């Protein structure tokens, strides 16, 4: 049935500044859910999945013009991953992937994320020069602080999700326990009431 046939106007999709698809065992990025948020999305978390270079589509990712943080931790990306040019992104997390050629990877990050200097500095604490510019001590401190806070935020979010799942599980178990311990007399009354209603309905049908 056409949803508009009832005369109700369709509601516009919700807008989000932050989306998380962490721990979903994804093998492909769910662009159908992400791209509708192009005008608002600032943080995209795709960590702890099964994503790799094969189904990576950087052109689509490049449509997220307001994205500032991209989290790709704990996937299967390699050093040869290709990103779109994203001037808005200031934080990229891609820890615990298959990054084994650091110079190739860092060059890709440098070219495609012009505002990502803090990430490179945080990952290379011994770096002295970046883009022909000396790395200052205050930049190192700021980079460490920024990524420490980001990792702390991710950890808290995972704990919140775990607590929510535990609460839902306990609620389900409580309902099952309540049902298992129902008063037999109450169950008998419910059954009798259902049978009485069924008999009444059959009698009315014969009368008609």
Beta-carbon-side half-sphere exposure of residue 39 (alpha carbons within 13 Å): 4
pLDDT string in tens for the chain (208-residue length): 444 444 444 445 577 899 999 999 999 999 999 999 999 999 999 999 999 988 787 789 999 999 999 999 999 999 999 999 999 998 889 999 999 998 999 889 889 998 887 777 777 778 787 766 788 888 888 777 776 655 555 555 555 555 655 555 555 555 555 455 555 545 555 566 666 666 666 666 666 5
Residue 181 covered by a domain? no
Instruction: Report the pLDDT value the prediction gives residue 76, as an integer from 0 to 100.
Output: 95
**Per residue in 150-166, is it b (16+ CB within 10 Å) or e — as a string?**
beeebeeeeeeeeeeee
Residue 12 covered by a domain? no
The two tokens of residue 105 are: 């990877």
| Domain extent at residue 116 | 18-176
Residue 8 covered by a domain? no
CA distance 22 to 74: 10
Domain count, the chain: 1
Residue 83 covered by a domain? yes
Residue 109 covered by a domain? yes
Q: Specify the CATH number for the domain of residue 29.
A: 3.80.10
Residue 208 covered by a domain? no
Residue 41 covered by a domain? yes
Beta-bridged to residue 71, according to DSSP, are 45, 93
Residue 191 covered by a domain? no
């Amino acid at each position: 049935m056409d949803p508009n046939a009832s005369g109700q106007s369709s509601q516009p999709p919700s807008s989000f500044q932050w989306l998380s698809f962490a721990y979903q065992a994804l093998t492909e990025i769910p662009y159908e859910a992400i791209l509708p948020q192009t005008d608002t999305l600032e943080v995209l978390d795709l960590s702890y999945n099964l994503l790799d270079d094969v189904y990576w589509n950087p052109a689509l990712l490049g449509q997220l013009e307001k994205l500032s943080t991209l989290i790709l931790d704990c996937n299967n990306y390699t050093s040869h991953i290709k990103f779109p040019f994203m001037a808005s992104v200031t934080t990229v997390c891609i820890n615990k992937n298959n990054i084994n050629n650091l110079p190739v990877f860092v060059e890709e990050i440098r070219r495609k994320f012009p505002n990502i200097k803090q990430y490179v500095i945080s990952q290379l604490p011994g770096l002295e020069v970046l883009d022909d510019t000396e790395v200052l001590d205050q930049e190192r401190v700021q980079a460490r602080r920024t990524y420490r806070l980001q990792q702390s935020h991710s950890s808290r979010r995972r704990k919140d999700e775990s607590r929510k799942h535990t609460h839902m599980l306990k609620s389900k178990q409580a309902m099952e326990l309540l049902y298992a311990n129902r008063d037999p007399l109450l169950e008998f009354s419910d059954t009798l009431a259902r049978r009485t209603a069924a008999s009444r309905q059959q009698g009315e049908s014969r009368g008609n």
